Amino acid sequence: MENMETKMPLIGEKMPNLTVQTTHGKINIPGDYKGKWFILFSHPADFTPVCTTEFVAFQKRYDKFKELDTELIGLSIDQVFSHIKWVQWIKDNLNVEIKFPIIADDTGAVAKRLGIIHPAKGTNTVRAVFMVDPKGVIRAIMYYPQELGRNMDEFLRMIKALQIADREGVAMPANWPNNEIVNDHVIIGPASDEKTAEERLKSAAKGEFECFDWWLCHKKI
């Protein structure tokens, strides 16, 4: 990967092609996940307390992610032997079997390619999250500091919301499905011309959906 372009990937771009060593053997990202959603997340290091709580939390929800046709992939700048030993420790001491692969990025090449090295923490990676759709396109990116563990229920909400948005051609309100204005409804994209704006209000009057005004319409799905 020495000759690979080093620009950090952005939302809406293709996930860079990466061949990596994991606890499940070598895999190609995103090629081996074509047709599926996946979340690639990095953690600062094995055998650390916050990271351990995160891996347990991810695994506890793994079946829910799989119900959304979404796979999980971990990553840190550790050797595969460290990953294997840590996974064994979690199973032996916490009775949780980590069933998703963990990338062994001991050279740091993958982390550098993705722009997830913590600048103030030596070679450690930040708590980064990349959500990638079935076409290999990055749909969301989140970075967390080392001292803050992530909320996996939010990731489940995001994947479900993105899938509905794609399928229905809608947008999702804040805190969906518990929004303070429209509850569990979804947002219809705002009108971009006068004719559509007028038609929106007429459609709302017919009960096809609901509108506070022509630019703020919502519906139940």
Answer yes or no: is 124 within a domain.
yes
214 close to 197: Cβ distance less than 8 angstroms: yes
Tokens of 41: 């997340």
pLDDT of residue 6: 60
The residue segments making up the domain with residue 213 are 169-221
pLDDT of residue 1: 42
Pairwise CA distance, residues 102 & 80, whole Å: 8
Co-location of 198 and 135 in the same domain: no
Tokens of 209: 């959906």
Answer yes or no: is 159 within a domain.
no
Answer yes or no: is 163 within a domain.
no
Co-location of 59 and 30 in the same domain: yes
pLDDT of residue 75: 97
As averages over each run of 10 residues, the pLDDT of the chain (221 residues) reads 62 97 97 97 96 98 98 96 98 98 95 84 83 98 93 98 97 97 95 89 89 93 91
Q: For the domain that residue 82 is a member of, what is the CATH number?
A: 3.40.30.10
Co-location of 30 and 56 in the same domain: yes
Q: What angle do CA 86, 88, 93 make, to 5 degrees?
A: 95
Q: How many helices and strands, by DSSP H and E, does the chain display?
A: 6, 10
Return the half-sphere exposure (C-beta side, CA atoms, 13 A cut-off) of residue 60: 12
**95, 122, 152 — which closes off a domain?**
152
Tokens of 157: 């909400």
Co-location of 26 and 97 in the same domain: yes
**108, 123, 152 — which closes off a domain?**
152
Alpha-helical runs (H) found in the chain: 49-60, 62-67, 80-94, 109-114, 152-168, 194-205
pLDDT of residue 146: 87
Prediction pTM value:
0.92
Co-location of 54 and 97 in the same domain: yes
Co-location of 196 and 101 in the same domain: no
pLDDT of residue 2: 43
Answer yes or no: is 164 within a domain.
no
What is the DSSP code (8-state) at residue 209?
A: S
**100, 123, 152 — which closes off a domain?**
152
Answer yes or no: is 116 within a domain.
yes
pLDDT of residue 120: 67
108 close to 100: Cβ distance less than 8 angstroms: no
Task: Look at the chain and report how many structural domains it folds into.
Answer: 2
pLDDT of residue 76: 94
Co-location of 41 and 79 in the same domain: yes
Co-location of 148 and 42 in the same domain: yes
157 Cβ contact partners less than 8 Å away, ≥ 6 residues apart? 176
Active site residues: 51
